[in-house]
Structure 1
Amino acid sequence: MYIEQGYKGDIGIWKYFIIPSCFIGFMALNYIATINSPINVEDAMQQMIDQLGSNIVLIILLAPLAVGLFIVLGWTYIVHRQSITSLTTSRKKIDWKRIFFAFGLWGGVTILLTLIDVYFSPEDYVFNFNMSKFIPLAIIAILLIPMQTSFEEYLFRGHMMQGLGILAKNRWVPLVVTSVLFGLMHIANPEVEKLGYGIMIYYIGTGFFLGILTLMDEGLELALGFHAANNLITALLVTADWTAFQTDSIYRDISEPILGWDVLIPVFVVFPILLFFFSKKYGWKNWNEKLFGKVLSKDEFVALSANESDLA
């Protein structure tokens, strides 16, 4: 009953629209500015890196989203009067083991797949490791990237999913809306300009994967760990001149990017395999109910919680 955790706060549907509306408005303005700019995103990024250095640019990109994390958590705690635990999970306390397991699993898979690709396609990569540049990058990335990814999870899969679920009284509406909006958030990324709008299949598909993780596991923990690993390992291990993160990573991808099966495979092969694996590990059942079923009313939730307390 993750969505119903929103009832534990000072409920008021209007409170769920303020932060998402501001963020979506900001992203829309950013997209309009991007498509109307005489300089393409890749060239603009390169100019910033040439002037400021890649680490400073990374901080500029991540810092607003890191601040956004504190805004979402502060709004939840102060305005909603809801605990951070109930925004995070339906469990009595946040399950850190789940976070670290998902982080370790996806981090390990990402490293393995990348190294396999480097081995079989060495012409596509340049070994870029420089200790003096990598250490500052690692410090910045380890501090800020988990905050950036946590902001996105708490905003979309936490704040918005609970609010939309309570408003719609079902689970599929928040799943669809938050997944699509999560994908559209990336529409101004340089990858979209380079590869075309087909890459949005990956971004929206990732949104659905993370949303399903959250609803089936009744909490954000797995999504928090997966998302942090995905962005952090990417920033440290391999980047390219046409990606959102352009860092002094260990490898640099110098291949000419094309929109191909590598966009579809994660969404239609890798993510379903991961969902199957997590379902076996954590004993997920009632998929139809958890993904498409109704959301309890506040009275029903309170009564059910009282019964569970009596049984305990």
Structure 2
Amino acid sequence: MNYIQQAYKGDLGFWKYIVIPFLFIGIVILNMVAIEVFDIDQNATIKKEIADKGENLVLFESMITFVVFLGMLLLWVKYIHRQTITSLTTSRKKIDWKRIWFAFFIWGGITAGFVFVGYFLEPESMKWNFQLNKFLGLFLIGIIMIPIQTSFEEYLFRGYLLQGIGAKFKSRMIPLIITSVIFGLLHIANPEVGKLGYVVMVYYIGTGLFLGIITLLDEGLELALGFHAANNLVGALLVTADWTAFQTNSIFKDVSEPDVYFDILIPVLVFYPLLLLLFAKKYSWSNWKEKIAGRIEKPNLETEEKTQELA
């Protein structure tokens, strides 16, 4: 059984796939509406919160919503869909933690490398921001809370909705496009959009497409989980800026003006394709067209179970 077909191991019922996404997306949309209606200056609001509470407490509080929703989602899948968390995560017999760590260290290493190279090449663009006590607090909060935040987003979009929409429409391409666009649009109220303009949506939607593609090609969520955790965690620990959603007690503070081409287009157009080739080589991916754009058929679960038992 492929990854999307894992949804058939539980109780489908398309209405069940609406509840958790509706609640989460509804909260995000209400927040966007409030920002527009009340003309809220997000950067000023974040700065005031940080001045009152400190960066670490603000980060912790911003993560609480994701802790709650990840718990809700996993419990919903287990008790309402009666689907195992393993089948929500992968088409393999068990979750492949080596894949998660491989993606984490590959992308984390690339991200860290670019931060340090940028600091040595253009030290005037990066301010040394390291304070041991504050950084230790950030590290502790970060390694616990940020992977929860990224895991919720991956389980919701590349897991739950990819499987649910794919099973409903018997398609791989339809859920890939829908989940990627929704994932990108939910970032439209981020401070980065106000700073860089709507061109930043190329990055958010492009990242959603990349994560969806590697999930489909690898028949599991592990690589996406590792990549997303590295992207957010390493970024939060190493570098912050006054115009980003994450303003942390990181090692460096970027005081330069952001470069649209370097910060947005190069990751999407250069690094993501290179990572695809690396993953494809390591995990021997084949039949790309079928895995990305093929049809989904309802599996014969009895036959599949017997095949697995014989294997």
Q: Please indicate, yes or no, whether the TM-score normalized by the shorter chain is above 0.5.
A: yes
Write the deviation string for residues 199-242 of structure 1: whole angstroms up to 9, x where unpaired.
Answer: 00000000000000100000000000000010000110001011
Q: What's 1:122 paired with?
A: 123
Q: What's 1:270 paired with?
A: 271
Q: Secondary structure at the match of 1:13?
A: coil
Q: What's 2:64 paired with?
A: 63
How far apart, in 1, do the equivalents of 2:144 and 2:285 lie?
A: 33
Please, which moves more after superposition, 301-310 or 212-221?
Answer: 301-310
How far apart, in 2, do the equivalents of 1:261 and 1:253 lie?
A: 14
Write the deviation string for residues 277-297 of structure 1: whole angstroms up to 9, x where unpaired.
Answer: 000000000100000000111
Structure 2: tracts of 5 or more residues without a match: none
How far apart, in 2, do the equivalents of 1:72 and 1:38 lie?
A: 32
Conserved in 2, the CA contact under 8 Å of 1:4 and 1:301?
A: no
Q: What's 1:111 paired with?
A: 112
Write the deviation string for residues 143-181 of structure 1: whole angstroms up to 9, x where unpaired.
Answer: 100000000000001110110000110100000000111
How far apart, in 2, do the equivalents of 1:64 and 1:216 lie?
A: 30
**Shift in alpha-carbon separation, 1:241–1:303, aligned structure 2, 3 A:** same
How far apart, in 1, do the equivalents of 2:77 and 2:138 lie?
A: 32
Shift of 1:56: 1.0
How far apart, in 1, do the equivalents of 2:262 and 2:54 lie?
A: 33
How far apart, in 1, do the equivalents of 2:114 and 2:67 lie?
A: 29
Letter of the 2:176 partner, please give it: L
Letter of the 1:85 partner, please give it: T
Q: Percent identity?
A: 55
Matched pairs, number: 310
Shift of 1:11: 1.9
Q: What's 1:192 paired with?
A: 193
How far apart, in 2, do the equivalents of 1:24 and 1:86 lie?
A: 24
Conserved in 1, the CA contact under 8 Å of 2:24 and 2:69?
A: no
Q: What's 2:301 paired with?
A: 302
Letter of the 2:240 partner, please give it: T
Aligned counterparts, 1:42-191, within 5 A: 42-191=43-192
Shift of 1:258: 4.3
**Shift in alpha-carbon separation, 1:253–1:311, aligned structure 2, 3 A:** same
Q: Secondary structure at the match of 1:126?
A: strand
How far apart, in 2, do the equivalents of 1:285 and 1:252 lie?
A: 42
How far apart, in 1, do the equivalents of 2:17 and 2:88 lie?
A: 12
Conserved in 2, the CA contact under 8 Å of 1:41 and 1:193?
A: no
Shift of 1:26: 1.4
Q: What's 1:26 paired with?
A: 27
Q: What TM-score do you get using the length of structure 2 for normalisation? A: 0.97
Aligned counterparts, 1:174-253, within 5 A: 174-253=175-254
Q: Secondary structure at the match of 1:285?
A: coil
**Shift in alpha-carbon separation, 1:13–1:38, aligned structure 2, 3 A:** closer
How far apart, in 2, do the equivalents of 1:35 and 1:209 lie?
A: 30
Letter of the 2:45 partner, please give it: A
Write the deviation string for residues 242-282 of structure 1: whole angstroms up to 9, x where unpaired.
Answer: 10100110000011234334311111110000001000000
How far apart, in 2, do the equivalents of 1:192 and 1:179 lie?
A: 17
Q: Secondary structure at the match of 1:59?
A: helix
How far apart, in 2, do the equivalents of 1:87 and 1:245 lie?
A: 29
Write the deviation string for residues 59-110 of structure 1: whole angstroms up to 9, x where unpaired.
Answer: 1111101221111111000111110000000000000110111111111111
Shift of 1:303: 5.5
How far apart, in 1, do the equivalents of 2:38 and 2:286 lie?
A: 49
Superposed CA RMSD in Å reads 1.2
How far apart, in 2, do the equivalents of 1:16 and 1:27 lie?
A: 18
Conserved in 2, the CA contact under 8 Å of 1:98 and 1:222?
A: yes
Conserved in 1, the CA contact under 8 Å of 2:9 and 2:301?
A: no
Letter of the 1:183 partner, please give it: G
Q: What TM-score do you get using the length of structure 1 for normalisation? A: 0.96
Conserved in 2, the CA contact under 8 Å of 1:88 and 1:158?
A: yes
Conserved in 2, the CA contact under 8 Å of 1:88 and 1:154?
A: yes
Please, which moves more after superposition, 252-261 or 7-16?
Answer: 252-261
